[in-house]
Amino acid sequence: MKVTLDVMISEISYLPGAFSESVSTAPIEPPCTQSPELFFAEQMPQLRAAQQVCEQCPLRALCLSEALERGEPWGVWGGKILVDGVIVEHKRGRGRPRKDERATA
């Protein structure tokens, strides 16, 4: 699965200091297109790595707002983890949660 954002630089000119007006309007290939599977991983270490890739992306704010507007069900968008279309801090692992031994004692 390849994820691309076909966004022109002129569309993100609202980012303070991001680009000068003399920059061309060539399409930007965001860093997430290099390894899109990282942005849809199941494990937190991979999702954290995806968030680090987002940190320097000039499309970060636009990516997140567009994902929320589209109702993206899951993945890392704009540096945030989405689960069921909602931003979460941590993604729960697959399967049943482990029992807390302190609660049963």
| Contacts with 18 (C-beta within 8 Å, 6 or more apart), sequence order | 12, 58
The answer to whether the annotation marks 82 as part of a ligand binding site is: no
Cβ burial, residue 21 (10 Å; 0-12/13-18/19+): exposed
The answer to whether the annotation marks 32 as part of a ligand binding site is: yes
What are the sequence ranges of the domains in the chain? 9-104
The answer to whether the annotation marks 79 as part of a ligand binding site is: no
pTM confidence score:
0.62
What does the pLDDT profile of the chain (105 residues) look like in tens digits? 444 455 544 444 445 555 455 555 667 778 888 888 999 999 999 999 999 999 989 899 999 999 999 999 999 999 999 999 999 987 766 677 777 755 555
Return the pLDDT at 21: 52
Quick one: CA torsion of 77, 79, 81, 82, rounded to 10 degrees? -30
E strands of the chain, at which residues?
Answer: 74-77, 80-83, 86-88
